[in-house]
Amino acid sequence: MRSRMSTLKFWLRCFYQGLRQWCGDAAYERYLASAAKSGTMHPLCASDFYVEQANRKFSRPNRCC
């Protein structure tokens, strides 16, 4: 029974992490990991990161017609 519960917890955790990756909620954690790997001394705080993401996303012209 214990192994079934641990297996279920494992798969639920994997599903949750995959869902966070898919919807973009884990972007800041990925940014921090990348900054640590590249040796960036002063990574952005969470609020500045999301402002930069929004600026990057919405600063380009979006013409559908």
The model carries a pTM of 0.66
User: Can you tell me whether residue 44 is helix, strand or coil?
Assistant: coil
pLDDT surpassing 80 at residue 62:
no
Per-residue pLDDT, 65: 63
Per-residue pLDDT, 60: 77
Q: What is the mean pLDDT of residues 4-11?
A: 93
- List Cβ<8 Å contacts ≥24 apart for 43-46: none
Query: Cα–Cα distance between 16 and 13 in angstroms, integer?
Result: 5
Residue 31 neighbours by CB under 8 Å, 6+ apart: 43, 44, 49
pLDDT digits (tens, 9 = 90+) for 8-57: 999 999 999 999 889 888 899 999 999 999 987 888 999 999 999 889 88
